[in-house]
Amino acid sequence: MRPVIQGLHHDHIDGSAAIANVIQDLYRLAGKEFPFPDLAAWRAFFQNPQKDIVMKFATVTSVMQTEEALRLVGYEYGRHRAREGYAYVEAKFAPQYHTAGGLTMKQAAAAMFGGLKRAEAMHGIRILPQFCIGREASPETGLEVARIVLDYDGEAALDLACDEASHPPEKHLPAYRLTFGSRVRRDCHAGEWVAREPAVDYRERLLQNVRTAVEVLRCDGIGHAIPLVHDRELVARIAGQGIRVAGCPGAYLRTGLISDIRYLGIDRLIDAGVLYTINVDDDLFLPSMAETLDLCEAAHGFTAGQCAKLEANVFSAAFGFGPFD
């Protein structure tokens, strides 16, 4: 069986399928020529695994440098997800990548927030922005992002994204600590990827980042935690504390982080009481939800009970429907 997923907890705005709807408009707003013959050529560039990921995203973020552009993207993202049938989404946005045109991070966050909330009001979808720290940034920049999130008093969450291999979670402890005792919900990309060598402790290093996110950053949610099922003690702790795990199984398979979705043990995590949810990550160039669910169904053959839990977790583990509502 396969679940019906009505919400997303791990969804990057600049890598979402919605970007394709407005990318040419963004270039016009920026006064730039679209550097591809057509949308198909741009998509092919994005989906080519030989192309540098930074270069790919630069074709998007380079034209998201004004308030008008950011409001347009925020609105289109929410409209697109609502049309796909989602009732709830947590939308990830890193303001540090949108200051090249003179905006401050605070202004960039406010413009994106405005676009998302306009879509929310017009299309009947609940949207919780997650403002991310690109972890290559300095701890001081991380603190600035945390202060921006605090200004929204629970209407936005904090996340830590990007290069986990070079920048482990503890680097941005000062930013996370700033939110302790506040209404801010804390998420963290952890257990996704670290340096491949030494191979002997590769999995343990991934798991250590998950432990740091849970124990040190005091996160309410973890993005990825790929090898989680292989540490029974950590599974029990995450389940016992009600910490959400937002996985992106199709993305891991497509990018070669895993060779078999069964490695994730999603069925076992659900049975252990983990608030696991299935997400798309960047469906502009990675598998869609339909593709992801097909892969998961083939790998796990979910029972009716497991499907029901996956469906319920979308709302029971949603930061936007938490204890502060």
Domains identified in the chain and CATH numbers: 7-320 (3.20.20.140)
Calculate helix-pair angle for 19-30, 67-83, nearest 10 degrees. 160
Reported as a pLDDT band with limits 50, 70 and 90, residue 154 is very high
Is the pLDDT confidence value at 215 over 50?
Answer: yes
Averaged pLDDT for residues 307-313: 98
* Structure token digits, residue 140: 């001081």
Alpha carbon 141 to its chain centroid, in Å, reads 20
CA atoms of 288 and 7, how far apart (whole Å): 13
30-68 burial by CB neighbour count: b if 16+ within 10 A, else e? beeebebeeeeebbeebeeeeeeeeebbebbbbbbbbbe
pTM of the entire structure? Answer: 0.96
Give the three-class secondary structure for 247: strand
> Is 4 in contact with 308 (CB distance < 8 Å)?
no
CA atoms of 13 and 119, how far apart (whole Å): 13
pLDDT above 70 coverage of the chain, percent? 98
> Is 226 in contact with 260 (CB distance < 8 Å)?
no
| pLDDT tens track for 45-66 | 988 887 888 899 999 999 999 9
Phi and psi at residue 8, to the nearest 5°: -130, 135
Closest by CA position to 100, among listed 133, 66, 134: 66
| pLDDT tens track for 160-191 | 999 999 999 999 999 999 999 999 999 999 99
Contacts of 36 by beta carbon, 8 Å cutoff, 6+ apart? 42, 45
* Structure token digits, residue 164: 């986990």
121-140 burial by CB neighbour count: b if 16+ within 10 A, else e? eeeebbbbbbbbbbbebeee
Residue found by looking up tokens 């590769």 in the block: 202
> Is 250 in contact with 292 (CB distance < 8 Å)?
yes
CA atoms of 279 and 277, how far apart (whole Å): 7
Task: Quote the pLDDT of residue 323.
Answer: 42
* Structure token digits, residue 178: 């700033």
Task: Quote the pLDDT of residue 281.
Answer: 96
Task: Quote the pLDDT of residue 322.
Answer: 52
Strand pairing of 221-224 and 244-247? parallel
Task: Quote the pLDDT of residue 52.
Answer: 85
Closest by CA position to 87, among listed 324, 317, 315: 315
> Is 69 in contact with 30 (CB distance < 8 Å)?
yes
pLDDT above 90 coverage of the chain, percent? 95
Closest by CA position to 309, among listed 1, 81, 92: 1
| pLDDT tens track for 252-272 | 999 999 999 999 999 999 999
